[in-house]
Amino acid sequence: MNLGLLLGRLSGFAREAFVASSYGATSQADIVVLMLTVPDLLVNILVGGAMGAMLVPEFTQRPKIAKQLLYQSLLFFGVLFLMVTVGFYWQSDVLVAMLAPGFTDVQSEHASIALRWVLWLIPLTILAGVATAYLHAQHKFAVAAMGTLIINSAIITGLVLVYYGFGSLSLVAAFVIFGGLLRLLSQLSLVNFHWTPLVSLKPWQLHRPLVVRYGQAMMSGSLLLLFPVIARALASYEGEGSIAMFNYSMRLVEFPLAIAVTFLATIFFPRLAQSFTSNAGQHRQLIRYGVQLTLVLSFVAAILLIYLSEAYADIVYGHGEMNDTSVIAVASVAAIGLFMLPLQGLATFLTAVFNSRKDMRTPMLLNSVGLLFFLLATSIDLFGNGLPALMWAMVASYALICSLQLMTLKIESFRWFDVLFEKTFFIGIVCAISISIVAGKWISQVDLSAWLSIAIACLAALLSLLVMALFNEKLRFMLKSRLMTK
């Protein structure tokens, strides 16, 4: 799964780098960014991880009806979101006004036309989300993880063709839809349906409590996703290219978040859901391991990338129409966003724990508090003005959400103090953080190329994680056994 996510995020970087090099930080770049990101953005707001949160526990705990539930979910949500997409299609100008209120009339008109065709990706992405939940419940992660690579490859192909004069943005839209269809078919190919359309509808498995939990999980995930949406909308008031600049910065934060941190929640979730009803001791142990792993990985990644934010941004955006000033500006905003890695990672994992226990209501309420704080902070300019202020407001909001989650998640015979300050874990993470700080500071002060700096940082990260692992008694025993065997 990690390999699939890595390839997917790298292809996403390639896509963003191509947009940046072709359009720079201009009004046209703002339109292209909206066109390529709004369908997934709307899916995330409307679903917000709810599909997996609702369906994975059902698939794992009720395996006999899993395929029937899968079929009914595909049918129900496919029809529902097809109708939603029709509504968005006819109101694309309203969407642009909400997501980019600072656009000029000309920009809004062009963006509205560009959006109409890519919106048909929404039902395809929803159906892929249902199939992904089923595959995850079966502990099949590889093909689902390759979904981002598939669709980004299609988009990049369309962008390249347009760049060399073989069409307009409508051609890119066609490749977007093609990529979404290909992603969906790749996942359905593993399901092995027995096609009995009418028989599979009885009895109806999408009962009311399940739909209620879906609504709560949807609200919970959607509230978190509103942070960058609102921030990007506010960025449109900062002048031409501001939406693109903020989007470029967020991509630099999302890449390490996905491949090094939040993938843990996806892998742990099916086992958390299964152990909650069958093995309380294993459930507590999974939570302990998940939290500790999330913190170690996120702190190491965040520290090294904060020190090397300019080299990091230069590798991705330092070419084409992007000048040095724009790259440095993106790096400075991304460096602030990287402080969110431990907070976002922990919030994502703890949300997975809540969901595995079929408690979707609590994360929804806590995320609402975090969003209200974010709106208040940005409205009174608590952190100042400009793109850096928007990013600091997001960091503070995630810190609040994490604190509330730790205070409200009550598990029998389980104390957060014992998890966070367990002797071997605490010493290990302090050593790992220390190595990362020393390495990051040294690399940033030495005159090296951007690629070499990042390569050395990766080695430093591996060293930090190795030192951390050696403080784990079980890992030491396994390593010692292997060495003695050899």
The answer to whether residue 434 is domain-embedded is no
Structure tokens at 67: 């395929």
The pTM for the full model equals 0.73
The answer to whether residue 453 is domain-embedded is no
- Give Cα separations from 325 to 34, 245, 330 (angstroms): 23, 11, 9
Phi-psi region of 447 (alpha: psi -120 to 50; beta: other; left: phi over 0): beta
The answer to whether residue 467 is domain-embedded is no
The whole-angstrom separation of Cα 203 and Cα 69 is 10
Number of domains forming the structure of the chain: 1
Is the pLDDT reported for residue 195 higher than 60?
Answer: no
The whole-angstrom separation of Cα 457 and Cα 376 is 37
pLDDT band for 479, please (50, 70, 90 cuts): low
Question: What's the confidence (pLDDT) of residue 385?
Answer: 86
Structure tokens at 361: 């209501």
The answer to whether residue 112 is domain-embedded is yes
The answer to whether residue 471 is domain-embedded is no
Contacts of 483 (CB under 8 A, 6+ apart): none
Residue from 221, 150, 213, 255 nearest 358 by CA: 213
Is the pLDDT reported for residue 480 higher than 70?
Answer: no
DSSP secondary structure letters along 76-144: HHHHHHHHHHHHHHHTHHHHHHHH-TT--HHHHHHHHHHHHHHTTHHHHHHHHHHHHHHHHHTT--HHH
The answer to whether residue 384 is domain-embedded is yes
* pLDDT tens-digit map of 325-340: 888 999 999 999 999 9
Question: What's the confidence (pLDDT) of residue 486?
Answer: 55
The answer to whether residue 220 is domain-embedded is yes
The answer to whether residue 474 is domain-embedded is no
Question: What's the confidence (pLDDT) of residue 322?
Answer: 77
8 Å CB contact between 16 and 229: no
Residue from 5, 1, 33, 38 nearest 20 by CA: 33
The whole-angstrom separation of Cα 365 and Cα 461 is 36
Q: What is the mean pLDDT of residues 163-169?
A: 73
- Domain span at 138: 2-420
Q: What is the mean pLDDT of residues 81-86?
A: 90
The whole-angstrom separation of Cα 322 and Cα 25 is 7
